[in-house]
Chain A
Amino acid sequence: MSTVSESLSLALELIGRADPELTRIAALSLRVSGSACLIGAVVGLALGAWLAVARFPGDRIVVWGLNTLLALPSVVVGLLVYLLLSRAGPLGALGILFTPTAMIVAQSILVVPLIAALSRRLVLTALREGGDQLRSMGAGSGMSAVLLLLHERVGVLTVLLTAFGRAVAEVGAVMVVGGNINGVTRVMTTAIALETSKGDLALALALGFVLLGVVGIINGALAWMQQGVSRSAEVLA
């Protein structure tokens, strides 16, 4: 396992001297995946909450479709978005292919089903507990769903962190729609893929450790903030 130990020390060295290339790549990873999660949160939470309370013909099919989309391979999303944004495609005139914007679009599409499915589950479970009480107090189904998301905000945060993990770790979508252009659309995962295919396994693994480290810091910061604001909510959860 000498490659592993070599990679660990290489990772620490890269972080230690704040390698500018590494910093740029990491910052872009965070920017792309973070934006995708924010967009995904707005769309996904609304969709999930709505599906938890809505009753319409075919609602079961929509939920089945949503759950199936959870297994959508990232490279498939990448291809679909590529075909959409390609000059030869319907939205080609936007000219956003091979830019970070296209990557954000692709990752947003990737995380929306995840956030929607998980938040739907959260709301449904909470509805079982408090749905009657909220109805008794005069809340319509939509309002109940929103209040329950507020009530389960710790669970919602976990859902968003899960989505962020999925986004920041994926390589298929961003590779296809971003093109892994040096200095423009290269992110941590595509850089790792490149170094692997070049045979520089130690560097690839080192970048992997750095990625984990960055995500670990973010999770830690969020957990610390959340603890400070609502300790008792954690106790309840």
Chain B
Amino acid sequence: MNHREPGPSAGQDRVLPIASKPLLSLRQASVQFGAVRALENIDLTLHAGERLALVGANGSGKTTLLRLLHGLVPLSTGERCWDPRSLAGSHPAGSHPIAARPSPRQPTMAMVFQRPFLLNLSVRNNLRIALWLRGVGRAERGLRIRQALTRVGLTALADRPAGVLSGGQQQRLALGIAWAAQPEVLFLDEPTASLDPSAKREVEGLIDELAREGLTVVMTTHNLGQAKRLATRVIYLEAGRLVVDKPVVSFFSEALPFAAEQFLQGELSWN
């Protein structure tokens, strides 16, 4: 399978369409777990076609923010809302099919976790159950399973138990499951953090391809090189607060607040 490796100049190809519809927004959102304030007064709007990277140190709240956007975590204060008018224009023509079932409310979303959780079943059955959960009918299911297997390059392994796949293959399967749901937004929580370097490249390449097809992507990463390679917009979080929110090129070239700069230096040197 050919993975196109995103190069350092990829940032330039990733230019957003000028009038990009908002998909999800947070207004003064805060999340509190018991005594801990994980997120503080976040204002954020996600636009169609964006590739948003959430970066920050451990405990900065980036994973909580990701889950909040997805809806896995409840708001303590503030607002989370979505704009249904954006559905029609969220995908550039010809690249990604419109969701089979236009959601009446929230945009269709899927998430890939750092350590993929796959059921103790075959690759194919994992896809089947995931699609069944989304209410996809039998014929359509079969079609999407075949497409997903091809898309992520796992057709040869379709009947193997998901547990015997390598780390990279499992993450590809997780991506395939997410993609098969035909989401408008794909959330990724440190998708390559647990993988060895070659698997990392494999999965990053796949994410890049999926994003090029028009999928809106939100991902957390502590790998700034990855943010640079994949994102169109970067948000830096510190102690639950949104400190920097810039397009990727500006983020890595312009001056940043001191702490962010420190973080950048600390992380970048490891890439």
Contacts and interface: CB of A to CB of B under 8 A. Distances in A.
Q: Do A and B touch directly, given a CB cutoff of 8 Å in the complex?
A: yes
Contacts of A143: 133
A150 B129 CA distance: 12
A217 interface: no
Given A133-B111, A151-B119, A235 B72 contact: no
Interface residues of B, number: 24
Contacts of A132: 67, 72, 111, 113, 117
Looking at A132, A137, A150, the one whose CB has the most chain B CB atoms below 10 A away is A137
- Give the interface SS of chain A, mostly helix, strand, loop or mixed: helix
A139 interface: yes
A119 to B, nearest CB: 16
B161 A232 contact: yes
B141 interface: no
Interface in A74-91: none
B120 interface: yes
10 contacts: A130-B117, A136-B109, A136-B110, A136-B111, A138-B133, A138-B134, A151-B119, A153-B120, A233-B161, A233-B163
B181 to A, nearest CB: 7
A129 B135 CA distance: 24
A136 B70 CA distance: 8
B164 interface: yes
A130 B121 CA distance: 14
B117 A133 contact: yes
A170 interface: no
B130 interface: yes
Contacts of B129: 147
A137 B181 contact: yes
B134 A152 contact: no
Contacts of A235: 163-164
Interface in A114-153: 129-130, 132-139, 143, 147, 150-153
Most chain B beta-carbon neighbours within 10 Å: one of A132, A133, A154, A230: A133
Contacts of A233: 120, 161, 163
B58 to A, nearest CB: 18
A151 B117 CA distance: 11
Q: Is the contact region of chain B dominated by helix, strand, or loop, or is it mixed? A: mixed
A61 interface: no
B133 A129 contact: no
Interface in B57-96: 67, 70, 72
Nearest to B73: A132
Interface string B103-143: 00000011101001101110000000110011100000000
Nearest to A231: B161
B144 to A, nearest CB: 14
User: Which of A129, A153, A230, A232 has the largest number of chain B CB atoms within 10 A?
Assistant: A232
Interface string A146-165: 01001111100000000000
Find the residue from B120, B160, B163 having the highest chain A CB count within 10 A.
B120
A236 interface: yes
Given A232-B163, A233-B163, A137 B120 contact: no
B161 A133 contact: no
Contacts of A135: 72
A154 B161 CA distance: 14
A137 B110 contact: yes
A235 B120 CA distance: 11
Contacts of B161: 230, 232-233, 236
A144 to B, nearest CB: 10
A137 B177 contact: yes
Given A133-B113, A136-B187, A235-B164, 5 more contacts: A129-B117, A130-B119, A133-B117, A136-B110, A137-B133
A48 B153 CA distance: 39
B167 to A, nearest CB: 14
